[in-house]
A = this chain, B = another copy of it.
Amino acid sequence: MDHTPTSIDQLPTPALVVEKSIFDRNVALMAEARPGAALRPHVKAFKSTSLAKQLVDAGHHRFCAATAGEIEGMVRAGLDSDLLLANEIIDYVRLGRLVDGGANITVAVDSEDVLNAVIDGGVRRVLIDVEVGLPRCGCDPEDAGRLAELARAEGLDVRGVMGYEGHLMMVPTQERRAEKVEAAMALLLRAHADVGGDIVSAGGTGTYAVNTWANEIQAGSYCLMDTQYATLEIPFEQALSVLSSVVSVSPKGWAVVDAGLKSFGMDHGNPTWPDGELRFCSDEHATLSVEPGQLRFGDRVRLQTAHVDPTIAKHERMWVVDGSEVIDQWPIDLRHW
Contacts and interface: CB of A to CB of B under 8 A. Distances in A.
A76 interface: no
A135 interface: yes
A256 interface: yes
Contact of A266 (B44, B245, B266, B337): B266
Given A90-B258, A247-B87, A310 B297 contact: no
A17 to B, nearest CB: 14
A89 B266 contact: no
B113 A261 contact: no
A175 interface: no
A87 B135 CA distance: 43
Interface string A299-337: 000000001011001111000000000000000000011
A123 interface: no
Contact of A282 (B140, B166, B315): B166
A297 B287 CA distance: 44
Stoichiometry, copies per complex: 2
Nearest to A251: B140
A81 interface: no
Contact of A245 (B90, B166, B267, B336): B90
A252 interface: yes
A138 interface: yes
Given A91-B12, A111-B249, A284-B87, A266 B297 contact: no
A272 interface: no
A24 to B, nearest CB: 25
A180 interface: no
Interface string A207-245: 000000000000000000000000000000000000001
A316 B314 CA distance: 11
A281 B261 contact: no
Nearest to A69: B12
B111 A297 contact: yes
Interface string A246-288: 0111111010101001100111000000000001111111010
Given A14-B337, A135-B254, A247-B88, A313 B314 contact: yes
Contacts of A336: 315-316
14 contacts: A12-B91, A66-B283, A87-B247, A87-B284, A88-B256, A90-B247, A110-B248, A114-B248, A135-B254, A136-B287, A261-B309, A266-B310, A283-B309, A314-B314
Given A111-B248, A117-B298, 12 more contacts: A89-B258, A111-B297, A135-B252, A137-B248, A137-B256, A138-B248, A166-B282, A261-B267, A261-B309, A262-B313, A266-B266, A266-B267
